């Protein structure tokens, strides 16, 4: 056999080997997506019977984004079986898909604002009075925030997501002993919490900080969860997590955009999540009104300017 023929065979074998090396990652990625899809279907089928939030069309006249920055209204409620209630948690998350950045605004539920068509009241009354569309109008009217999408989650879903994504629990440095007003007693110090315990941690407010401490802990826990979820062994769980939470969520986000935002928030640049609380320190006073009870009277212009700087810097 000539040297030329032997060299030809070596070149062919080398090309086959290179092709095989290139094929292996593609097969692995495909397998991950298939696994994730079937996990999603399995989780959804297993949980659909436990639906606690009815799926229905909701009036929502959201803005249209022109720069791949999406402002998503995040609401946490305890509503069951279509029951109307005030929103317990109100957040606005901004997902910048170009810069792979996430920002999070927590709005204190006792903030005293003008609710279009309903007069002045606590901001969480907007959801009870007119649903997510009235709350969207309230945020735009008072703070000039353009909301593009909404996500309403029943708190049962939060617990199930944590247990699905982190079956061994999530390690949290519990800042103090907590028991009053929650279902579980939590001891100060590092603890591994399951979904129900973690929900108690982010909802606890029976101390001197009240809602301010609760909001701070919510933001801290979201950062911890996004960091934990970025671990490679957790990435494949994202479709299953979405399948698990689906029965507990109402949203106008389509699946493709939801997955993309999930990647931005949970995977890409998780340490760059910026947070803001409204009202800012020293920009409110405690007031009491007969129809609303104890409220936070805001310096509206100062807080509006801070929100604008935060979302558009």
Is residue 295 packed enough to be buried (19+ CB in 10 Å), middle (13-18) or exposed (0-12)? buried
Is residue 220 packed enough to be buried (19+ CB in 10 Å), middle (13-18) or exposed (0-12)? middle
Non-local CB neighbours of 261 within 8 Å, separated by 6+ positions? 70, 72, 95, 97, 253
Decide: 170 and 162 in contact? Cβ < 8 Å. yes
Per-residue DSSP letter, 56:
-
Binning pLDDT at 50, 70 and 90, where does residue 235 land? low
Q: Please state whether beta strands 119-122 and 111-115 pair in parallel, antiparallel, or not at all (unpaired).
A: antiparallel
Alpha helices in the chain, H assignment, sequence order: 3-47, 125-143, 155-165, 195-203, 211-229, 232-235, 238-245, 255-266, 300-312
Most confident of 42-51, 52-61, 81-90, 138-147: 138-147
Q: Is 187 a residue whose pLDDT tops 80?
A: yes
Taking the mean position of all CA atoms in its chain, how far away is CA 239? 15
Q: Is 26 a residue whose pLDDT tops 50?
A: no
The CA dihedral of 270, 151, 280, 284, to the nearest 10 degrees, is -170
Name the pTM for this structure.
Answer: 0.75
Q: Which residue has the higher pLDDT, 137 or 247?
A: 137
Distance CA 300, CA 112 (A): 10
On average, the pLDDT of the chain sits at 79
Distance CA 274, CA 271 (A): 9
- Please state which of the ranges 45-54, 153-162, 199-208 shows the lowest mean pLDDT: 45-54
Most confident of 56-65, 85-94, 167-176: 167-176
Non-local CB neighbours of 37 within 8 Å, separated by 6+ positions? 239
Determine the pLDDT at residue 56. Answer: 45
Asked if the peptide bond before residue 22 counts as cis, ω within 30 degrees of 0, the response is: no
SS3 109: coil
Determine the pLDDT at residue 88. Answer: 85
Determine the pLDDT at residue 264. Answer: 64
Distance CA 187, CA 178 (A): 6
Q: Is 41 a residue whose pLDDT tops 60?
A: no
Binning pLDDT at 50, 70 and 90, where does residue 18 land? very low
């Amino acid at each position: 056999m000539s040297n030329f023929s032997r060299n030809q065979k070596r070149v062919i074998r080398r090309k086959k080997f290179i092709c095989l090396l290139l094929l292996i990652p593609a097969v692995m990625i495909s397998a991950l997506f298939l696994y994730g899809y079937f996990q999603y279907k399995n989780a959804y089928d297993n949980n659909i019977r436990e639906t606690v939030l009815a799926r229905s069309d909701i009036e929502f006249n959201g803005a249209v984004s022109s720069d791949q920055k999406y402002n998503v209204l995040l609401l946490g409620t305890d509503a069951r079986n279509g029951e109307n209630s005030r929103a317990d948690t109100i957040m606005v998350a901004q997902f910048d898909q170009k810069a792979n950045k996430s920002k999070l605004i927590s709005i204190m539920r006792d903030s005293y604002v003008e609710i279009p068509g309903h007069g002045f009241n606590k901001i969480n009354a907007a959801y009870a009075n007119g649903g997510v569309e009235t709350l969207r109008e309230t945020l735009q009217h008072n703070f000039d925030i353009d909301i593009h999408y909404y996500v309403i989650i029943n708190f049962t879903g939060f617990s199930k997501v944590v247990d699905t994504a982190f079956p061994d629990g999530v390690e949290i440095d519990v800042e103090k002993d907590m028991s009053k007003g929650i279902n579980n007693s939590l001891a100060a110090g590092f603890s591994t919490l399951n979904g129900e315990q973690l929900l108690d941690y982010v909802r606890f407010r029976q101390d001197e900080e009240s809602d301010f401490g609760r909001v701070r802990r919510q933001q801290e826990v979201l950062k911890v969860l996004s960091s934990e979820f970025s671990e490679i062994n957790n990435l494949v769980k994202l479709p299953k997590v979405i399948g698990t939470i689906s029965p507990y969520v109402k949203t106008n986000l389509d699946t493709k955009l939801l997955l993309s935002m999930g990647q931005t928030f949970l995977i890409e640049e998780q340490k760059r999540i910026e947070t803001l609380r409204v009202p800012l320190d020293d920009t409110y006073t405690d007031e009491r009104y007969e129809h609303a009870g104890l409220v936070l009277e805001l310096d509206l212009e100062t807080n509006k300017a801070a929100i604008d700087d935060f979302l558009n810097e």
